[in-house]
Amino acid sequence: MSTLLIAFLSFFGFIVAYNTYGKFLANKIFQINWDEVTPSVELRDNIDFVPTNRYVIFGHHFTAIAGTGPIVGPTIAVIWGWLPALLWVIFGSIFIGAVHDFTALVLSLRNKGRSLGDIAGTVLSPSAKLLFLILLTFILAVVIAVFGNVIASTFKDYPQSVMPTVFSIPVAMLLGLVIYRYGISLFWASLVSIFILGITVFFSVSYPVFSFHMPSFESVHASLNPTMLWTWVLFIYCYFASVLPVWLLLQPRDYVNSLILYIALALIVAGLLLAGLAGSADLFGSAPPLRLSEARLSGAPPILPFLFITVACGAVSGFHALVCSGTSSKQVASMQDASFVGYGGMLLEAALAVLVILSCTAGIGLGIPNVSSAAEATGNPKAINKIVDNLKNEKSYSSENLSPPTTEIIKGRDAWNLRYDRSWASMNLGEQVGTFIEGGANFIHLLGIPIKFGQGIIAILIACFAATTIDAALRLMRYVLQELGGMLRIEPMKNRYVATAVGLVIAVALALCKASPTAPYGTGGLILWPVFGAGNQVVAGLTLLVGGVYLMRRKVRSVYLLLPAIVMIIIPLWAMSYNILFVFFDKGQYLLMVIGVLIILLALWLVIEAFLAIRRLVKMNNSN
């Protein structure tokens, strides 16, 4: 019952916050005028600026900001216990994350859809614009590399997710065509899209022949492994998604993916409801609420400040500001939709993060195979792979259906310990994503859906979700590089095709790296998470700082932005400094050290620019 109660209170809190604090910010602080003309209407070009139905733009915005961020972060953070992660997701999203997203969206809507870096130049100083654009280039390159590797790993480990993800592209393009060119009803077009994708999910999960395995050519060259090959395929797709008109691929694809997400979340919630009412999912019995000393013994860093950069997108994320000011502000048709898209989109992402936390604790507690003990019993560690494959092909986790060696199914706290009672260094993004897949599939299984279908549905959700992030991120990087090209008078960089290619080369260089000297090529993005988490939160703090100065210029109370801005600048810079001094240097991760130092220097410089802008405003107000 504890699991159901936590879920209910969390979701109820988000609804209350949207209708109280969200409306307060819109009406009293930003003083939204519903008659304001939006950039999508004023500057409509049907390529980037396209007035869009509020539900379609919400779907695009939500899937673009979320990606795997609210999934990966919480799956790692529960090593400190589920309570700190849960509290940070709930209160962080309401008072910082959603405020941040809404701020970025409104600033861009009131500045002709300009990017956050461009707006910083107007609000703070011209030099601040250059600094912000350089910082955003670093962050976006890391985002593309990280999520590109996560999708590639998901495709490799769960090949049944490939076909639905690939099919979502032509389905999305068809959806965009029939809506914008032929005026077909959004409802019927959405229904047909879901039906087609549902068929692909059924066949890809039910029949292995439809599960696409990328071949390995490592005998030719070490970089030709399945993960690297998938990464290349994804990046090539992203190039075209970045340069095509937004209504043809990016927007409808994100909307279609949002439909997949809504269905998957509904299944998880329904399964959680049954588990909670039946008492089979016990949150307190499945995982510890707080686990600080044990986490430190496993080599985990201190909870303060690392909890706040580990759970990034589920609570607050600077990347959201780039989406708000990069693509969403160019598609919002009315200022009435700003709160719905900006504040509401972040709260829905927080709700997803809550479900991830519950899946990785109470969901895992419902039962997982103890593959490690089975492998030890046979004396052959490779038996793990065989057992896992057998389990994925069974309708449920039942050792009776398995031929020798049999697999013990463990439940409760023992199951959670199997995933989290190990060294911090041995945890990686791919395995932690798999933890959510297992726990979420356990909830879905309670609805009578076989485990393999549950795992397939969630794996598809993750792959589609992350794909929407990297294609949106590359488009945003193209905007940033085009602005840099204009500012630095580099004429070729102002071309969208050239800017996209340059951005892709930078991201590929990061993703191409090895996670360790013994790791295969194409895993470099998987070690960039600490840099992404801290850098991402720094951008969030700086966005709130720019918003606070903007409100001061309008002589409006800015404490609601400046206070969280201070918090979100100090904590991530603290974490980044700790990593540079005690982690990256010791491990010889010099690339991460360089990126971390550059982010710190750029952030401090921007803080100084903001301080100078505030001082000028104070002097001006005093003189008046």
Task: Render the burial of 189-214: b for 16+ CB within 10 Å, e for the rest.
Answer: bbeebbebbeebbeebbeeeebbeeb
pLDDT on residue 379: 37
Helix count and strand count (H, E) for the chain: 29, 2
Give pLDDT, residue 40.
Answer: 94
In this structure, is residue 396 part of a structural domain? Answer: no
429 has a pLDDT exceeding 80:
no
Confidence class of residue 222 from pLDDT cuts 50, 70 and 90? low
Quick one: pLDDT at residue 358? 95
The predicted-structure confidence for 457-487, as pLDDT tens digits, reads as follows 887 777 777 777 788 888 888 888 988 888 8
Asked whether residue 500 is domain-assigned, the answer is yes
Provide the residue range defining the domain that includes 614. Answer: 2-367+449-623
Question: Does residue 320 fall inside a structural domain?
Answer: yes
Higher pLDDT, 102 or 55: 102
Q: Look at strands 368-369 and 409-410 and give their pairing.
A: antiparallel
| 611: in domain | yes
d(CA 502, CA 418): 43
Distance CA(310)–CA(73), nearest Å, equals 5
Confidence of residue 210 (pLDDT cuts 50, 70, 90): low
Average pLDDT of the segment spanning 396-412: 55
Longest Cα–Cα distance in the chain: 84
The share of the chain scoring above pLDDT 90, in percent, equals: 33
The Cα–Cα gap between 351 and 271 comes to 16
Indicate whether 215 pLDDT > 90: no
- 421 assigned to some structural domain: no
Measured at the alpha carbon of residue 468, what is the angle toward residues 462 and 474, in degrees to the nearest 5? 130
Q: What are the pLDDT digits (tens) for 290-339?
A: 988 777 767 888 999 999 998 988 899 998 998 898 889 999 999 999 99
Global pTM?
0.85
Q: What are phi and psi of 369, to 5 degrees?
A: -75, 135
Question: What was the pLDDT predicted at 398?
Answer: 41
CB neighbour burial string for 409-423, b if at least 16 within 10 angstroms, e if fewer? bbbbbebbebbbeee
Number of independent structural domains in the chain: 1
Residue 385 falls within a domain, yes or no? no
Report the range of poorest mean pLDDT among 497-501, 524-528, 579-583: 524-528
The pLDDT tens digits of the residues spanning 509-539 come to: 887 776 566 666 666 666 776 787 888 899 9
Asked if residue 155 is part of any domain, the answer here is yes
Measured distance CA(494)–CA(54) in Å, rounded: 31
Cis peptide before 404 (omega within 30 of 0): no
pLDDT category, 219, cuts 50, 70, 90?
Answer: low
In a domain, 390, yes or no: no
What's the pLDDT at 20? 97
Which residues are 521's β-sheet partners?
514
Asked whether residue 408 carries a pLDDT value surpassing 80, the answer given is no
- For residue 47, what is the domain's CATH number? 1.20.1740
Segment among 42-46, 47-51, 161-165, 236-240 with least mean pLDDT: 161-165
Distances (CA, A) of 229 to 7, 140, 149, 220, 452: 39, 21, 10, 13, 25
For the cut 90, the answer to whether the pLDDT of residue 277 exceeds it is no
**Mean pLDDT score of the chain, rounded to an integer?**
83
User: Is the predicted pLDDT of residue 279 greater than 70, yes or no?
Assistant: yes
Task: Say yes or no to pLDDT of 129 above 80.
Answer: yes
Predicted confidence at residue 252, as pLDDT, reads 83
Choice among 50-54, 172-176, 394-398 with the minimum mean pLDDT = 394-398
- Model confidence at 345, pLDDT cuts 50, 70, 90, reads very high
Confidence of residue 546 (pLDDT cuts 50, 70, 90): very high
